[in-house]
Structure 1
Amino acid sequence: MRFSLLSLSALFSGTAVIAGSMPSKIYGVNLGSWLVLEAWMLRKVKWLNMGGESCSTCSSCIASEFPFAQAFPDTVDGIFAGHWNTWFNQTDVDTIKELGLNTVRIPMGYWIVEQLVDRTVEFYPRGGMVALIRGLGQLQEAGISVILDHHALPGVQDSEQMFTGHCTTNVEFYTDANYLRALTWAGVFTGLTHLHPAFGSVFALEAVNEPIMDAAQTPGYGTYQQNFVSVVRSVEESLGINVPSSQASSSNATQAIIEFSNSNQNSSRLNPTVQTALINAAIILAEIALTKDTEFDLIKSARGQPPLTTNFMDVNWQNDNPPNPAAAAMGPQAYDNHLYYSQGVADPTPEAYMQSICNLNRVQADAALGNSPLWFGEWGLPTQFDATDEFLSQWADAQKLAYSQGAGWIFWNFKVEVSTLAGNLSREWSYFDGVKLGYLTKDPSQVHNASVCDGFTTTS
């Protein structure tokens, strides 16, 4: 799209944006499989009915969004529009609110910013931004805070994972070209958060969901962390946010971001990668603002809004001398850890699980390295053994008590498929069903038994 930056002054005037704020204690759920579909959560019925496939190795069949879009290029957009409107809607928002939850984490793929997709070699559904705007408006109306999570990165950040949007062994995120696309994504969403009315309850932007745990396999990731924060803060400074000395003289956000990047003062302190990402993001923001169904007012003032909280997986997520994301912090920053005992955290017995969780020191260990506040952005009730109803209630209590030592917790997932073919999947993975079954308390701030760890805690 070609346009004059000066012509943007003709854009319509919108509703004032009210910036989101981080709850004093996070009690939340993930909106998993909404904007990044993970077939394992709905594959027994819904995914197969959509046209997807089920296989033991997800890269060998149509088990993620990329091969689906590649197989059904003419119908994928309509099929996914139907999925987006049914998997998460007003009924789900009402349930989240009724259950007393105050936060949702929204996993997204880079392809939601359609300008970042190379459609000669990359295949994803289009229209996700419209669905996101609809959902954010509903969440804002309900007073629910939002974390926007870059869940699936350009080039794929981990091998053979449905959550990357493309089950493949070809991992290419950790390259200059894909780092640049991810930084542009960050600039776009920083601008949208401060300028689009629907984004008013967003308070945090997560840079990368679950990078490879071995830091030796993620070259350049530390530099990316620093550049991510620089992009977010540069967009905010260009808009006059939380920067008393900023004059933000331009008449619209696109001009402000470009002028900020190109100014003599800032061009000397911003590296070329950040500058390029800022200019790319500014142009994409203008295109989104001028597009029907996503349009917003680029001329709106963002002054007085609080800055976004930048968010990274904590330093202890990786091993082999990982970069510490605390070194990148400028302004509010928070850290995320995911803990699934079903993946081998402890021996597969109820006693070992309780011994481990009741002595968990992740919050303290992270704080010692500057990774605070820490929230637990993914956890659930699945186990490696046949858990009784009684144990799942204890297991829910013990995890909530452990994770509440930090900034709070976000359960994976708000719901999963409920069907005869899906069996007991929802019993351990669905927050909604966990409450119905009595494992999770109706008030998320409470537990069934505050003494659940008695007899398991050690004195060391």
Structure 2
Amino acid sequence: MEANRNSTAFSWLLLLLLSHLCLWMKVQSTEMPSVQFKAVNLGGWLVTEGWITPSLFDDRIYNNDLLDGTQVQFMSTASGKYLTAEDGGGSKIAANRNDASGWETFKLWRVADDQFQFRVFNKQFIGLDGGGGPSSSIVAVATVPAESETFQIIRNRDDRNRVHIKALSNGMFLQARSEGTVTADFSGEPDWGDSSNAVFVMKVFGGIQGEFQVTNGLGPVQAAQVMQEHWDTFIVEDDFDFIAKNGLNSVRIPVGWWTAMNPTPAPFVAGSLDVLDRAFSWAEKYDLKVILDLHAPPYSQNGQDHSGSRDGTIEFGSTQETIDKTVEVIEFFSARYASSQSLAAVELINEPSAPAVTLDVITRYYEAGYAAVRRHSPTAYVIMSRRQGAPPAELLTLANGRSRTVIDVHYYSIYSPIFQSMTVQQHINYIYQSRASQLSKITQDNGPLSFVGEWVAEWKVPGATKEEYQQFANAQLEVYGKASFGWAYWTLKTEKYEHWSLKWMIENGYINL
């Protein structure tokens, strides 16, 4: 009898402990910040974006329209036919297409000011068959480019889109022959007449302006000087003072993987880690919190300028190594800044793209990245960015039950076709209805916190007045103010686009926080 009573008492005690444990886990997974984060992004500073700072891509870069990732097409003036990679790659290069599309478009890898490698549709590189003899045919079979895949583009002085293409491995020029074959066997100096088989019209489009492009374009010596000057002047201590005095309590700092590397991998240049350290010291001085955001992982997650990509190819998640290398970067930053009183959160990656980055890949990465942060900090929030093109609610199961997790969504009213013809009132209604509904789906009781990590008071409404901009901004502030973690405006400064600059918007009375 006594044994039964003891057993019953033990069972009740166990149930009580389990219920308290469940309650504790629930509280841990939804622990709210003491204040809602009202942040501004420091975009274009430690991760270059050419549209934010176009001055970095000025004439200091020779052939600044031929940076890494720029897409080119070549038409033979003699035949009027475009060069093409047969089957998209893995075969020969021919000059037999009347029109240009994917197989006729090549991505540049810049080797020097006027020397390039050409990546074809299936990711092989154009080169000389057999490594380059005196009359080599042109193929696209190499997956790793070498000298036989490297060419010089010589531009006509009067028409820079009129070019000769010289193979460095044999010193001869490419020519498109009458039967459509392409060879590297034109010796001597070709003329610029239309009938010359060695003359091509080059069409240039689809360039990328990111950190890789500016540093590789400038070269190591000039890049070190230019980037250090940019880091020292684009964002300064006074900006942190301004942020603290104008109703904001935190900054979201985009960083690139190269900042965590020692030595810094070429073509990136050293120095950004010291600048990041300085940013943390300024944040501490002005009582601001830092959301550290891995904007550019070792392998591009979305192919965009801000992802550190060389040519727009998305490689994150293609192998386990790409995930492991990215976790190493998170580990480095977490260890370095865990003791800083300003570190509020680590965002594991910015805007991974669906379907190129699958849910399985991002799940495996977020699990490993979360563990890396927790090895160094039990208190820093861990932010998981939604995949572009995927529903943000897909992350709820992954984030739920883990302590201090946040789901990041980005809300812009400018890129999708649905916004192109909206009136002022339609834009505002969209914020109050659609955006509010979307946000509510991930802002749940006892679930991960929600964060609008990027938004801006810009749209494509021609002739909008200052008052209308104010109404648009206020609508977003009201709706995004319901995000349980907070929001971050994109961005603090730009050289050209005023409404994208929160500093300009505040100083000119468009936004009052």
What range describes the TM-score normalised by the shorter chain of this pair? 0.5 to 0.7
**Mapped partners of 1:29, 1:341: distance in 2:** 18
**2:374 aligns to what?**
233
Q: Could you tell me how far apart the structure 1 residues matched to 2:60 and 2:34 are?
A: 37
Structure 2 portions without partners, runs of 5+? 1-31, 71-206
Cα distance, 1:152 vs. partner? 0.6
SS in 1 for 2:283: helix
User: Aligned ranges for residues 41-120 of structure 1 at < 5 Å?
Assistant: 41-43=52-54, 45-48=55-58, 51=61, 59-60=69-70, 63-71=209-217, 72-115=219-262, 119=265
Tell me which of the two structures has the higher relative contact order, counting C-alpha pairs closer than 8 angstroms and 6 or more residues apart.
Answer: 1
| Structure 1 residues 139 and 203, CA gap change in structure 2 (3 angstroms) | same
Task: Name the CA distance, whole Å, in 2 between partners of 1:320 and 1:139.
Answer: 30
Pairing 1:380–2:449 present? no
Query: What is the DSSP-based 3-state SS (H/G/I as helix, E as strand, rest coil) of the residue aligned with 1:75?
Result: helix
1:123 positional shift: 2.2
Distance 2:311 2:494 in 1: 24
Question: Which amino acid is 2:480 matched to?
Answer: Y
Question: Partner of 1:171: helix, strand, or coil?
Answer: coil
Q: Per the alignment, do residues 59 and 235 of structure 1 end up closer, same or farther by CA in structure 2, a change over 3 Å counting? A: same
Alpha-carbon shift at residue 166 of structure 1 (Å) = 2.6
Check if 1:410 corresponds to 2:482: no
Distance 1:200 1:377 in 2: 21
**Aligned match for 1:395, one of 467, 472, 476:** 472
1:39 equivalent in alignment to 2:50: yes
1:28 to 5, 22, 39: 39
Cα shift at 1:176: 1.2
Q: 1:341 to 1:211 in 2, by over 3 A?
A: same
Q: Pick the aligned partner of 1:349 from 413, 423, 442.
A: 423
Q: Distance in 1 between matches of 2:507 and 2:248?
A: 15
Paired position in structure 1 for 2:287? 143
2:348 paired residue number: 207
Match of 1:277 in 2: none
Of the structure 1 ranges 48-57 and 219-228, higher mean CA displacement relative to structure 2 is found in 48-57
Letter in 1 for 2:309: H
Q: 1:319: how far off? A: 4.4
Whole-angstrom distance in 2 between the partners of 1:410 and 1:398 = 15
Displacement of 1:343 after TM fit? 1.1
Alpha carbons of structure 1 residues 323 and 399: separation in structure 2 relative to 1, 3 Å: closer
Listed one character per residue, the Cα deviations across residues 323-360 of structure 1 (whole Å, up to 9, x for unaligned) are: 54634753211121111101125453212211110112
Structure 1 residues 169, 162: CA separation in 2 closer, same or farther (over 3 Å shift)? closer
CA offset at residue 70 of structure 1?
2.1
1:364-423 deviation digits (Å, cap 9, x = unpaired): 111359753112111111212212212101000000000001132111011111xxxx3x
Between the aligned partners of 2:474 and 2:430, the Cα distance in structure 1 is 14
Q: Relative to structure 1, is the Cα distance of residues 327 and 358 closer, same or farther in structure 2, using a 3 angstrom cutoff?
A: closer
Q: Could you say what secondary structure the match of 1:177 adopts?
A: helix
Q: Deviations over 1:2-21 (max 9, x none)?
A: xxxxxxxxxxxxxxxxxxx9
Residue aligned with 1:59, SS? coil
Aligned to 2:202: none
Is the contact between residue 211 and residue 306 of structure 2 (CA under 8 Å) also seen in structure 1? no
AA paired with 1:410? A
One-letter amino acid of the counterpart of residue 59, structure 1: G
Question: In the alignment, does 2:512 pair up with 1:434?
Answer: no
In structure 2, relative to structure 1, the CA distance for the partners of 1:429 and 1:77 (3 Å cut) is same
What secondary structure sits across from 2:344 in the alignment?
A: strand
Determine the C-alpha separation between the residues in 1 that align with 2:441 and 2:467: 31
Distance 2:392 2:42 in 1: 31
**CA distance in structure 1 between the partners assigned to 2:372 and 2:336 by the alignment:** 14
Taking the aligned partners of 1:110 and 1:46, their CA distance within structure 2 comes to 20
Against the structure 1 CA distance between its residues 378 and 327, is the aligned structure 2 distance closer, same or farther, given a 3 Å change threshold? closer
Equivalent pair of 1:314/1:325 in contact (CA under 8 Å)? no
* Alignment-mate amino acid for residue 416 of structure 1: T
CA contact (8 A) 2:386 2:392 kept: no
1-structure distance, mates of 2:263, 2:245: 37
Maintained 8 Å contact 1:103/1:146: yes
Alpha carbons of 1:34 and 1:62: their partners in 2 closer, same or farther (altered >3 Å)?
A: same
Counterpart residue number, 1:163: 306
* Secondary structure at the counterpart of residue 163 of structure 1: helix
Q: Is the 8 A contact 1:233 1:330 kept in 2?
A: no
Please, what TM-score do these two structures have when normalized by structure 1? 0.67
- Whole-Å separation in 2 of the counterparts to 1:187 and 1:362: 32
Q: 1:100 to 1:178 in 2, by over 3 A?
A: same
Q: Does 1:331 align with 2:403?
A: yes
- How far did residue 436 of structure 1 move? 2.0
Give the number of aligned pairs. Answer: 338
Equivalent position SS for 1:173: coil
More displaced stretch, 215-224 vs 204-213 = 215-224
- Cα deviation, residue 41, structure 1: 0.9
DSSP 3-state at the match of 2:468: helix
Q: Which residue of 2 aligns with 1:253?
A: none
Pair 1:223–1:324, CA change in 2 (3 A): farther
Query: What residue number does 1:274 align with?
Result: none
Q: Given the superposition, is the C-alpha separation of residues 40 and 162 from structure 1 closer, same or farther in structure 2, using an over 3 Å criterion?
A: same
Q: Percent identity, aligned pairs only?
A: 24
Displacement of 1:84 in angstroms is 0.5
Which residue of the other structure, out of 268, 271, 280, is the alignment partner of 1:127? 271
Match of 1:153 in 2: 297
Amino acid corresponding to residue 393 of structure 1 in structure 2: Q
SS at match of 1:439: coil
1:189 aligns with 2:333: yes
Query: What is the aligned counterpart of 2:320 among 172, 176, 179?
Result: 176
What is the CA deviation profile of residues 13-40 of structure 1, one whole-angstrom value per residue up to 9, with x for unaligned ones? xxxxxxxx94511211000011001110
CA positional deviation for 1:233? 1.8
CA distance in 2, matches of 1:163, 1:36: 6
Report what 2:186 is aligned to.
none
Please tell me whether the aligned partners of residues 350 and 385 of structure 2 are also in contact (alpha carbons under 8 angstroms).
Answer: yes
User: Which of these two proteins has the greater Rg computed from alpha carbons?
Assistant: 2
Check whether the contact 1:314–1:371 (CA below 8 A) recurs between aligned residues.
no
Give, in whole Å, the separation in 2 of the partners of 1:320 and 1:336.
8
Cα RMSD after superposing both structures: 2.8
